[in-house]
Structure 1
Amino acid sequence: MILNHSHTDISRNEGCTLTGVLSVTCFLQDAVTVIHGPTGCTHHNASLLHASLAENDCFDIPLLVSSNVSEEEVIFGGEGALMQAIRSAESYNPSLICVVSTCIAETIGDDTAAVCRESRGVPVVHIPGSGFLGGGFSDGIQNALMSLMDLSSPDLHSTEEGVMIVGEKNLEYEAEENYAEVARLLSLLDIDSGLRFVRRMPAGDCSRISSARYAILRDPSLDPIGSALSSRFGTEIISGFPLGLEGSLRFLRQAGDMAGIDALPAIRDEEGMQDDLVATFSDLAGISVSINTSMADPGVLQVARTVMDSLGMVEEDPGIPLPLPFDPPVGTTGVRRMLQSWRRGISRA
């Protein structure tokens, strides 16, 4: 037992580990997620996911099953309750059951992994979801991706040409738009985007993870996932979506080098699109603007200031406040959406 954790280890500033796991497993098609813990954990996260998805015009509540750990299970153990919950999940005829252990399950010492290893007619994968000793939302995402990776093997499939997209932020407002921009840039190199690990992906496709020659991580925080893919399956990695105008050109160069493709024609095409973009928003040149940097993401600031320089905007105080996106704009199209938001804000000032 680990006893040397401080109070600062336990505090979370990015949300619960369990929620991070569910932001992955709930986007697997034909899968059921079993939460091994009290019903409150399931109810809270179901409500949170429903509210987040509703903001994206998705009103389906993810299928979650609780093992309903109560005081009796806390005292005598909850493995029996977990087995019953897995049987309940099997009644939905899923292709995969994801079992997520919570803080309570870990605290009382249930061997969740052993229960999941028992032979059944459907694959059952255990994903650690306890964060009571310092884990957070990002840890939950990584735990889920690592555990689902175990469903694949280098011997299962031959290598495919498509690029696998890894770790999309399933709860972000522009998840589909960001994926479309990455796919657009890849198409300039005649590269197809393949598996989306995990974004509305059939659960059975987890076995195909090893078949991807190349993978693009959503952001560098997923580098441990990229390292695991490389060491297990020999996958080549690009460590993050393209951010901003310069990032798009750099991404094309990286993807071309990775796939052995001359990226220069694609870069020239993208530079032309970016020149057209700057011309479209030339009316913003010379306008005095200000940015609230106190809570801004450094990546957002870098992209925003690069775009301002390209347009000849002037950052000074006082100036018209600019709204910044929560995440850095992905690609040239993401910059276009940011500029459209700026133009609206400036017109109302």
Structure 2
Amino acid sequence: MALTDWLGAFRRAEAHDVSHDLDRGYEAALLIQSIELEHYNDRPVRPELELALPRAAQAQLLRRFRAALEICRQSLVTLEAHRGELIGQEQRQLQLIETVVSRYPVRRQPLPAISRSPEVLPRSLLGVVDQVRRQLDPEAEANMVAGFRRRRDSTLVSLRILLLLILVPVLVQQVSRTYLVSPLVDRFAPDHAFLSYPSPQLEERAVEKLRVYRAEIEFDYLLTGQPLPSREELHAKLASRAQELKEQADQESTHAIKNVFADLAGLFGFLFVCVVWRRDLQVLRGFLDELVYGLSDSAKAFAIILFTDIFVGFHSPEGWTVLLDGVANHLGLPARQNFIMLFIATFPVVLATVFKYWIFRYLNRVSPSSVATLRNMNGGG
């Protein structure tokens, strides 16, 4: 049993290393591609060229390029032994790393030419031949089993860290509010004014409840045919009810400070999970990338349209209004209509701009067919 646990832990650690190296190499390859596109007109980086940048900025850019290229080379050396275990999106990520590294050979040769020479055979045909060769390899079955185990371990780790990211902050927030924050605030609120600040909304609500209570008293007396109470009796009942409403308002005024302290405790719980299980978060990121980019082009376009219509579409103002009202009530803040309208007029616009920039710079290179499908689903816009 102990040997089985040790082997399982070793497989999980190896799977973490492979996923980590693949993610690092893929991010470095994307960084090199972005440098080529932005500063070298989508051509290989040539350090001897003078860019329209200050010397310090150009030197920093070249340092980033060399560091990213070194990461790509190290990742490629590490992943070469696990090539048979990679499938789907992982294979495409490895191919991108190989493509970037192949443009910058290690041996001393003249710098890359401005124009790339055409290849003798299409890269896709070479990929098919290489795939057939790997399938006929005697160790193909062992590599497939190892790849399945690595992906299974990555899936289990991703699901576990995802549950921890959701459950730990929620449990910490609820437990701390019930057993720690609420008793302390109720104990010290009468002596410290900052723990129970007055809220105009609570006062208006209490006055409205008192007005309704007076109308109910008069309605009950008229309904039963009894004479209306005298001014002294009505005043005594209203005074008693006003005292009850004041106590309720005082209790509700402390809910906001309780929510703030409990939310801070939940935030610390979330940060604790992120710090302690940092390696698992990297596995979760790779799992989500493979899950998202494994979708079909139509599914990607559908998800993008759904997300943009909810947060930056024509119907988003109603959703943002409800969300901001809920946050204001949770924190005990007045829901200012001017602030809400200003937020709706600026934040969704900024979010839409960032999202379009991401589609133009990243998604258009990683999955151009998804962008084309997105344009067709949007009516060609």
Class of the TM-score when normalised by the shorter of the 2 chains: under 0.3
| Structure number with larger C-alpha Rg | 2
Q: TM-score, normalised by structure 2?
A: 0.23
Q: Which one has the bigger helix percentage?
A: 2
Q: Which one has the bigger strand percentage?
A: 1
